[in-house]
Amino acid sequence: MEITEIRITLRDDNKLKGFASITLDDAFVIRGLKIIEGATGPFIAMPSRKRRDGTFQDIAHPINIETREWMEGLIITAYKQELQAAEGGQARRDSGESRGDEPGSAMEESF
């Protein structure tokens, strides 16, 4: 399995620093990964939905630590590159624009 594309949408919230979408093997997309600023640095929160009891359940997630670390490392690297480009005034194609792939966007499907 290979991550063939990572798209980052930056946010300037207190803890929520951005959203990520990844494409696996040019065949499967996972949207709605959150980039969160934690006590020891940024980490990735998997896409989730709110249950009726108020708790959250991951929709998609790695099933072992090796895959989580691999995925998180690539996404955090892409996030840092996007952040550097934004701070350097180099507007990238996805910076600051809603593409409809983050939760709550107009293009999000509800089931």
Q: Name the DSSP letter for residue 80.
A: H
Question: What percent of the chain clears pLDDT 90, i.e. is strictly above it?
Answer: 76
**pLDDT class of 92 with cuts at 50, 70, 90:** low
The contacts of residue 43 (CB under 8 Å, 6+ apart) are: 35, 36, 72, 76
Residue-number span of the structural domain to which 18 is assigned: 3-87
Q: Does a structural domain hold residue 101? A: no
Q: Does a structural domain hold residue 42? A: yes
Q: Does a structural domain hold residue 80? A: yes
Domain count along the chain? 1
Q: What is the 3-state secondary structure (H, E, C) of 9-55?
A: EECCCCCEEEEEEEEECCCEEEEEEEEEEECCEEEEECCEEECCCCC
Check which CATH number belongs to the domain holding 60 and give it.
3.30.1120.40
Q: Does a structural domain hold residue 47? A: yes
Prediction pTM value: 0.76
Chain mean pLDDT for the chain: 85
Q: What share of the chain is helix, strand, coil (3-state, %, to 5)?
A: 20, 35, 45
Q: Does a structural domain hold residue 99? A: no
Residue 5 has pLDDT above 60, yes or no: yes
Q: Does a structural domain hold residue 11? A: yes
